[in-house]
Structure 1
Amino acid sequence: MGDEVKVFGFWGSPFSRRVELALLFKGIPYEYIEEDVLGSKGPLLLQYNPVHKKVPVLLHNGKPIAESLVILEYINETWKSNPLLPEDPYDKAKARFWAKFMDDKCMPVIQKAILAPEKEREQAAEEACECLKALESALNGKRFFGGDAIGMVDIAANFVGFWLRIIQEVAGVELLSAEKFPDLFKWTDEFVSCSIVRENFPHKDKVSVAFKARIDRMREAQN
């Protein structure tokens, strides 16, 4: 018997997509279980992630692992083919730094720039652009953050690589553009052109409809 791998996720979650991308790039077969994160959470999700009670959760041979960056590390250490992190300890530490930067700094301010009350959006947009500027400097003209191939940072940054350009268009807020961040913008094109990403991410229209509804609800609640 081979490995039994299951992913509890949500189609519209960049965090869930990290886990799926890592498994897809590694060539690991898995069963995907969609969770209704906006409604009643399934009993298995609550059983396997009783602390945070959220997706994603990786279930490997009956053992649950939670938190997307932790799961990425686990996947990389468990299945050695197509490594997501560089071998050099310093380069590996830098990749971990930028992956964590996405969660700790970048995503929160981008979401605030899009979803916050109008009076808070301008400053949040400035902070978001500073984060994007930092990401562009980390990219440093390379095709991907990991060099010539997609790696840990690219997967962690899928929110910027795929979702942001769709969401900002729906929200009427321009953060990422070819004029402001040419290298980062080009990277997003490279990222979504990758066959694994292109074939496994949701259609733009589905994302637009879902996020428009979310943005409308948030802004209505603020008025």
Structure 2
Amino acid sequence: MPSPTPTPASTSASLAPIPTPHPPKADEPHLQAIIPALWVAFSDSAAGSSSGSSSSRAHEDGFTHIVEITYSTGSPHALGPGSIERRWDAAHQAQRLRLVLPAQPQALAPAAGRAALALTDGQLRAARDFVGECLPPDLAAVPEQTAVRVLVTVPPGRPTDAMCVVGCYLGFVAERGVEEILRFIDEEDGVLSVWKGEVSGEEVERVEEIARSWSWLRAAAAAAAAAAGK
């Protein structure tokens, strides 16, 4: 089945409703733009393998930076839960940040509810700075961004982790409240419902604290500004 057409979200006025004849399925990529340079998607595989085939990673093509949130495989030689790995992905010509979650849980019945945020504070902070480094405020505000395109991928059924990364980054660079940012996204007609309303109040508070915490990016910017003022 072909991947759905990516749908950018408006950063100002609301978009007209987008017809969706079939509800989103958790095992489809669902590429979705949050701002022109920042996208989210479900990975094609829930497994934590870093050696996915080119076809299973086709939705990653064209992105310069990828935040890959993935399950631990449990293999003795694999990265364990809570791990953070940044590397150059030669196959996609992109910088890749891998954030490893605990091993994939047993499939839950629909009545069991959503999957809660599983990223650690350190992983959220690493994702915030990874995206913030390549997509600073001046680039994030550009309406037509092509030089830098960032994709956040999560295993099927885990939109909360992706939206927490998005909220943390946008709260950091825009210096706005995470709750306000996520509410704005929830109200956008151009955003698929699968990405909306997935972050609890407690999770918002946790992400807000991380978005406001110290970052080497701000320290470097302050040092550069001080040097320029001399």
TM-score, normalised on structure 1?
0.34
Structure 2 length as normaliser, TM-score? 0.33
**Structure ranking higher in helix proportion:** 1
**Bigger relative CO (Cα 8 Å, ≥ 6 apart):** 2
The answer to which structure has the higher strand fraction is 2
